Amino acid sequence: DAKTTQPTSMDCAEGRAANLPCNHSTISGNEYVYWYRQIHSQGPQYIIHGLKNNETNEMASLIITEDRKSSTLILPHATLRDTAVYYCIVRANNAGNMLTFGGGTRLMVKP
């Protein structure tokens, strides 16, 4: 699986958009970009994933650059409950592939 690089921590004001970057310059053509988050004392939770096109769901938007070497997760109106560690993972969807996590970004949403 391709390696990802994320900032260690970020702050965001409540009600503003939170933009979390991820670099994955060695991503392969069949690898997807996944985002998970982990709120304190809970197991990680899936947020969104994409291959080439931008994706949006009820939780977030995922913007992937044209060369696929980086992506940004956008939480459009961050709330205090969005304070968590956010993990960017790149992974092919081949059967039986493992799922490994990097260090993630600790997002602190402040009032």
Which residues make up the interface to other proteins (CB under 8 A)? 34, 36, 38, 41-46, 49, 87, 93-96, 98-104
Q: 58 or 67, CB closer to other proteins?
A: 58
23, 69 Cβ separation under 8 angstroms: yes
3, 24 Cβ separation under 8 angstroms: yes
Provide the minimum distance between the beta carbon of 85 and other proteins in the complex, in angstroms, as a whole number. Answer: 8
Q: 15 or 54, CB closer to other proteins?
A: 54
| Residues sharing a CB contact under 8 Å with residue 57, sequence separation 6 or more, in sequence order | 47, 48
Provide the minimum distance between the beta carbon of 44 and other proteins in the complex, in angstroms, as a whole number. Answer: 5
Provide the minimum distance between the beta carbon of 72 and other proteins in the complex, in angstroms, as a whole number. Answer: 20
Q: 32 or 69, CB closer to other proteins?
A: 32
Q: 14 or 108, CB closer to other proteins?
A: 108
Q: E strands along the chain, which residues?
A: 9-13, 18-23, 31-38, 45-50, 55-56, 61-64, 70-75, 84-92, 105-110
